[in-house]
Amino acid sequence: MKILILGAGKMGSFFCDVLSFNHEVAIFDIDPQKLRFTFNAQRFTSYDEIREFAPELIINAVTVKYTIEAFNKVLPYLPDNCILSDIASVKNGLPEFYASCNHPFVSTHPMFGPTFASLSNLSSENAIIISESDHLGKVFFKDLYSTLHLNIFEYTFAEHDETIAFSLSIPFASTLVFASVMKHQDAPGTTFKRHMAIARGLMSEDDYLLQEILFNPRTNMQLDKIKEQLTRLQAIIEQRDSVAMKQYLDEVRANIK
């Protein structure tokens, strides 16, 4: 299959490496410097090259802020049967875009990133495929993600957004609060160092990505739960209530079994 990857960032380069040995792959980026270390794939910096390449599938791996803009810029240069795909962790506006683009599409979310995941061993990582996607696109990504040993889940756009509000908004918000009250420690403990590693990894992510995940309409409900539990924990600590603390710890342990 002739596959075009939009964006030569971390995830674009990852997909290029994974796909280039079994498919004819080209990668496009407006910044030629990002294409310097591309291996076993064609490197494009102009839209005319895309037209000549005539891709059968596009994987849009640009920064989430520019996902739809990148699609709109490339649409005039694509064959009518080209399948559009995105890997965005935030799907805002994408259902409406796909409904009007007159192209088959497949939307997925590989729920790992170069910051934390070991890209050479993804067997403990997950990927979501949007159920409204076209059949051939879903078949392609199911095969790809199975080859990578990812655990695959199929959700609707709405279910995806609900899942992201829970699985990303809660740890993102908790990490931000942790980091916001942090100060340098000369002799940090193991737990502190682990939290700091997570915080540094999170803060290396794109600001717009963090913003869009936290601005998910379902995030506030999750933040309310955090505030409720923090208030409860603070009251137990203030009262030095050993019985209530034991019950609280038992509940937390049950949650993470």
pLDDT digits (tens, 9 = 90+) for 80-133: 999 999 999 889 899 999 999 999 999 999 988 655 555 667 888 999 999 999
Check the CA dihedral 52-57-61-65 and report its sign: positive
Check the CA dihedral 178-65-19-139 and report its sign: positive
Residue 106 main-chain phi, psi, to 5 deg = -145, 130
Q: How far apart are CA 129 and CA 223, in angstroms?
A: 26
Contact 50, 3 (CB under 8 A): no
The CA-based dihedral angle spanning residues 173, 120, 5, 70, taken in that order and rounded to the nearest 10 degrees: 10
Structure tokens at 102: 């007159």
Give the CA distances from residue 118 to residues 121, 156, 237, in Å, rounded to whole numbers and listed in that order.
5, 27, 38
State the pairing for strand pair 24-28/151-155.
Answer: unpaired
Give the other-Cβ count within 10 Å of 35's Cβ: 18
pLDDT digits (tens, 9 = 90+) for 140-190: 999 999 999 999 999 999 999 888 888 888 899 999 999 999 887 787 899
